[in-house]
């Protein structure tokens, strides 16, 4: 039995320690906001926060998350209107939306580390893939957040 701190609550799961955190979140804890994209940590759809750092959960063994604070998109805000989520709406960032939870989680971590990021810092941090190509809108929303 593993004990995890997820979105401010303790969860106990009976899974193999090497199971990827993504599957624990989705299949065992009913938190479907974290998406499966590639399974090799390349696309970023599975991004969550581990002690405030953006990490890709599809290859992270759940045992590596024990004793750390895990935040998923569901735990970002009670009403779904975190400032980054509001900026995403205002700047019409999502198209299909599949990658957006990972993009939002990555952006939140970026802005906590760099409240006024440069384009180079955005490029370095936001490596999530978007099939719809909303990268220009993502950058615009991030810069708008930095100004506010």
Q: Could you tell me if 63 and 89 lie in one domain?
A: no
What pLDDT, in 10s, does the model give residues 35-52?
A: 999 999 999 999 999 999
Q: Could you tell me if 98 and 142 lie in one domain?
A: yes
Residue span of the structural domain in which 7 resides: 2-75
Measured distance between the N- and C-terminal CA atoms of the chain, rounded to whole angstroms: 44
Q: What letter would DSSP give residue 136? A: H
Q: Is the pLDDT of residue 146 over 90?
A: yes
The DSSP-derived string for 46-82 is TEEEETTEEEETTSSBGGGGTTSEEE-GGGT-SSS--
Q: Provide the CATH number for the domain around residue 35.
A: 3.10.20.30
Q: Could you tell me if 58 and 105 lie in one domain?
A: no
3-state secondary structure of 9: strand
Q: Across the chain, which distance is largest between two alpha carbons, in Å?
A: 45
Q: Could you tell me if 65 and 96 lie in one domain?
A: no
Please report which confidence band the pLDDT of residue 108 belongs to, taking 50, 70 and 90 as the band edges. Answer: very high
CB 72 within 8 A of CB 48: yes
* Whole-prediction pTM: 0.95
Domain boundary among 53, 75, 97: 75
pLDDT at 148: 86
């Amino acid at each position: 039995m593993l004990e995890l701190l997820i979105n401010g609550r303790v969860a106990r799961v009976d899974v193999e320690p090497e199971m990827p955190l993504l599957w624990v979140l989705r299949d065992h804890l009913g938190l479907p906001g974290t998406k499966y994209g590639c399974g090799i940590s390349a696309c970023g759809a599975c991004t969550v926060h581990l002690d405030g750092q953006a990490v890709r959960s599809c290859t992270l063994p759940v045992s590596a998350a024990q004793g750390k604070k895990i935040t998923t998109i569901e735990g970002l805000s009670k009403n779904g209107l975190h400032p980054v989520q509001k900026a995403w709406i205002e700047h019409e960032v999502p198209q299909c939306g599949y990658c957006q939870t990972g993009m939002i989680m990555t952006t939140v971590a970026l802005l906590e580390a760099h409240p006024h990021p440069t384009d180079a810092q955005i490029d370095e941090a936001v490596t999530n893939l978007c099939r719809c190509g909303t990268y220009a809108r993502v950058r615009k929303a991030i810069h708008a957040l930095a100004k506010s």
